[in-house]
């Protein structure tokens, strides 16, 4: 059996059985290495060599965690939550106005985090935990919030060529298609990915209007213990926090570094006296605890991906798909999308998947008679498939980090499974449709 299928299948099965994702990634990676002929020693060596690939991301998230704790200390996010809380119980809240206002706010911020202010998931631990009290008072299902945030984290980069979208569409997708022999000078990535993006929108509408429209109760006391005790703030602390956030955004955009941006924002808190120097160590420790789970999962995912690459069976999986296809365009499009889903679910990154699959998918697409526009759409959709719904993707880890601060939101069953069902299944349908009509 193919090592990639074994590794990803075991990792997903263990995750669904509530085994911690880090443990599932390690066991899945070792199993894949053994099946792929690396042996135990070779599998461990490949896994260890890949760990460094996730270190930068892990450090970024740890520093963002410290920055998030400093912002929480300032009360900036709590000020927003308190403003919303005052509306709870009023006629606007009863009619659902406040619910839709909060959902709209979170969606706009999530979309902006990919294109307008490309900070990715950094906003989630800053904004979401203080709003949990309000969301719970309104009895909003957190699975809906997870779907909402994941939509905002994935759809903009796979559709809009701005911010992270510019990197994915231009520097990764179009560049790799061109590198493998297809002329893309006249191809619009936005046009190629518009139909798959409609699939994401369809999934979001189903989640909002049908799947999670009902009310769900959570333990309010557990949220109060985590969040409401730290809600004191003043005009001065809010001004300092606003300045810190603005500087962090500017520095991150200027230097393209979440690490330096978070440090710059934290420095503002320190120089203002809001965070005393002797408190800095404790605050950093608390912040690292906040984001430690994401950091360790990203490190483990990098090792897992390295084992899959070392087996050499990602290529054999793609080659096998090519053999099954024959001359059928419909079957070819479906199998290419399914292979992309499997690879991305394991690696956890659409950005890393496209270069792997483009090498064979592009020549295969040409052989089957797909147009350049359809080939771009197939490769782009195959890469994006699995980003929503992967246990190791930051598009699912980010929402969980904000929704589970009080321990009432399970990463696998409340984030991964809902986003997989609502986004990967529509993406398969709409991606296949795009391949057939473009």
Confidence bin at 143 (pLDDT 50/70/90): very high
- Which 3 state secondary structure label does DSSP give 24? helix
Output the pLDDT for position 227.
60
Structure tokens at 79: 């000020």
Output the pLDDT for position 91.
47
- Of the chain, the percentage scoring pLDDT greater than 90 comes to 18
Structure tokens at 269: 């808190």
Output the pLDDT for position 151.
95
| pTM score of the predicted model | 0.77
pLDDT digits (tens, 9 = 90+) for 70-93: 776 776 666 666 666 666 555 444
Dist. CA 27–CA 432, nearest whole Å: 33
Confidence bin at 350 (pLDDT 50/70/90): confident
Output the pLDDT for position 93.
47
Q: Are 329 and 351 in contact (CB under 8 A)?
A: no
Structure tokens at 44: 């461990």
Q: Are 115 and 164 in contact (CB under 8 A)?
A: yes
- Which 3 state secondary structure label does DSSP give 361? helix
Q: What is the DSSP string of 286-323?
A: HHHHHHHHHHHHHHHHHHHHHHHHHHTHHHHHHHHHHH
User: Quick one: average pLDDT of 348-354?
Assistant: 73
pLDDT digits (tens, 9 = 90+) for 150-194: 999 999 988 888 777 887 888 888 888 888 778 888 888 899 999
User: Quick one: average pLDDT of 309-327?
Assistant: 72
- CB contact set of 258 (below 8 Å; sequence gap of 6+): 60, 63, 64, 119, 120, 122, 252
pLDDT digits (tens, 9 = 90+) for 201-212: 999 999 999 999
- Quick one: DSSP state of residue 214? S
């Amino acid at each position: 059996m193919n090592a990639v299928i074994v590794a990803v299948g075991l990792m997903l099965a263990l995750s669904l059985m509530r085994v911690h994702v880090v443990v599932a990634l390690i066991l899945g990676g070792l199993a894949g290495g053994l099946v792929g002929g690396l042996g135990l020693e070779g599998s461990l060596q490949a896994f260890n060599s890949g760990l460094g690939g996730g270190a930068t991301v892990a450090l970024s998230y740890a520093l963002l965690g410290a920055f998030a704790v400093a912002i929480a200390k300032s009360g900036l996010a709590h000020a927003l939550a308190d403003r919303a809380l005052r509306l709870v119980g009023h006629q606007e809240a009863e009619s659902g106005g406040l619910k839709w206002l909060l959902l709209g706010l979170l969606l706009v911020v999530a979309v902006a985090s990919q294109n307008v202010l490309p900070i990715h998931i950094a906003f989630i631990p800053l904004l979401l935990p203080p709003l949990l009290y309000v969301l719970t008072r309104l009895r909003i299902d957190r699975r809906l919030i997870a779907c909402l945030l994941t939509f905002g984290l994935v759809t903009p980069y796979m559709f809009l060529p701005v911010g992270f979208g510019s990197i994915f569409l231009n520097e990764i997708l179009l560049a790799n298609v061109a590198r493998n022999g297809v002329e893309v000078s006249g191809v619009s990535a936005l046009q190629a990915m518009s139909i798959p993006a409609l699939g994401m929108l369809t999934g979001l509408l189903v989640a909002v209007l049908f799947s999670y429209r009902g009310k769900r109760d959570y333990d309010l006391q557990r949220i109060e213990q985590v969040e409401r005790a730290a809600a004191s703030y003043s005009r001065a602390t809010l001004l300092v926090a606003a300045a810190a956030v603005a500087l962090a955004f500017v520095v991150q955009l200027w230097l393209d570094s979440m690490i330096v941006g978070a440090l710059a924002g934290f420095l503002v808190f320190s120089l203002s006296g809001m965070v005393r120097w002797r408190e800095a160590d404790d605050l950093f420790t608390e912040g690292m605890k906040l984001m430690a789970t994401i950091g360790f999962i990203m490190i483990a995912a990098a090792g897992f991906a390295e084992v899959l690459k070392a087996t050499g069976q990602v290529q054999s999986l793609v080659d096998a798909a090519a053999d099954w296809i024959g001359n059928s365009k419909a079957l070819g499009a479906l199998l290419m999308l399914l292979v992309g889903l499997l690879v991305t679910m394991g690696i956890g990154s659409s950005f890393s998947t496209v270069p792997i699959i483009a090498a064979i998918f592009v020549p295969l697409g040409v052989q089957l008679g797909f147009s350049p526009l359809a080939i771009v759409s197939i490769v782009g959709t195959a890469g994006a498939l699995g980003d929503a719904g992967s246990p190791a993707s930051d598009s699912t880890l980010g929402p969980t980090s904000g929704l589970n601060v009080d321990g009432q939101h399970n990463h696998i069953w409340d984030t991964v499974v809902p986003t997989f069902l609502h986004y990967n299944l529509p993406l398969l349908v709409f991606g296949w449709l795009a391949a057939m009509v473009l």
